[in-house]
Structure 1
Amino acid sequence: MSGLFAGRRWRTLMVGALLAVGMAPASVALADEIGSVDTVFKLLGPNHKIVIDGFDDPLIPGVACHVASSRTGGISGALGLAEDTSDASIACRQVGPISLPKGLKKRDGETVFSERRSILFKKMQVVRFYDDKRNVLVYLVYSDKLVDGSPKNSISSVPVMPWVGEAPRAQ
């Protein structure tokens, strides 16, 4: 009897953990994959690569960010079981008029993008800060883990400037 309850308890814990990993705040942006380059050839499964994702700040129209991060290939990468490294870089730019909302978080920051980096408990996050003294939005990308995060990080700053005319578009 205890084996049956232990099995149910284990399944309940696993389902709860998987649901928790998949849940994200409603204000987190969705990214579009812009492109990638292969870095290591893998005979079985996809190659290791660096992927560039782009997203718009969900709270502040007129700001777009691009994040470059590593993706583990091979069989474990193809099955979604690999843990990607914590290496990432970010570039954010003003792409239209910026209107700052009232109550913009300054000190603690606000998560604007999040991506799972392993099957459980590791994710890459982009957090926005506002430096009101300099009138600049600052975006920080870093990776965290349930037990031990990574000091690897990158930042990008976007000065809040008047916007004149239309943004250039590719023909």
Structure 2
Amino acid sequence: MKLLKLLPISLLLSVSYAHAQKIGSVDTVFKLIGPDHKIVVEAYDDPKVKGVTCYVSRAKTGGIKGGLGLAEDKAEASISCRQVGAISFDKPLKQQEEVFSQSLSILFKKLRIVRMVDVERNTLVYLTYSDKLIEGSPQNSVTAVPVDRQTPIPMK
């Protein structure tokens, strides 16, 4: 019963800045009851940088808990961001900003993607990691998207 009371809170906390588009998945462990454990690949378009998409692969827990949305997914994730069109900016960017966040458990564990700007090299750097309310994970992945020097990255 207490879990049902916490569910609306967890749904509010899982709101992300950008929506993930599921690209595909592969099963890693067969589960007799409930969905299999999987590795999922999702695409995120950077909401402030047109022409850049980040692809994230991560573990998704199956079984009964996973099927009910009660399982805590592992902290491991990998990221690869690419230029998929002409790069443009509607507004100046902050030096460092969280651009995506997705819940990995019913309470307080999130996968986060942070964009950093390497001004000297005119490059966008994306870092993915997970955190918890009490203790996060040092496991992370990083990727970079160089921007043509003729298109300077506008900074705040």
- TM-score, normalised to structure 2's length? 0.87
Matched residue, 1:155: 142
The correspondence for 1:17, drawn from 9, 30, 47, is: 9
Q: Which amino acid aligns with 1:61?
A: K
Matched residue, 2:108: 121
Alignment of 1:9-158 (within 5 A): 14=6, 17-18=9-10, 20-24=12-16, 28-106=17-95, 109-158=96-145
Q: Which runs of 5+ in 2 are unaligned?
A: 151-156
8 A Cα contact 1:97 1:162, kept in partner? no
Offset, 1:153: 0.4
Q: Which runs of 5+ in 1 are unaligned?
A: 1-9, 164-171
8 A Cα contact 2:14 2:102, kept in partner? no
The list of structure 1 runs, each at least 4 consecutive aligned residues, that deviate by more than 6 angstroms after superposition, is none
Of structures 1 and 2, the one scoring higher in RCO (CA 8 A, sep 6+) is 2
Give the number of equivalent residue pairs: 149
**Does the C-alpha gap of structure 1 residues 157 and 84 become closer, same or farther in structure 2, counting only changes over 3 Å?**
same
Q: Which amino acid aligns with 2:103?
A: R
Q: Which amino acid aligns with 2:42?
A: D
Higher strand share: 2
Q: Which amino acid aligns with 1:103?
A: P
8 A Cα contact 2:127 2:143, kept in partner? yes
- The percent of aligned pairs where both chains have the same amino acid is 55
Residues of 2 paired with 1:158 and 1:73: CA distance? Answer: 33
Task: Determine which structure has more spread, i.e. the larger CA radius of gyration.
Answer: 1
Q: Secondary structure at the match of 1:43?
A: coil
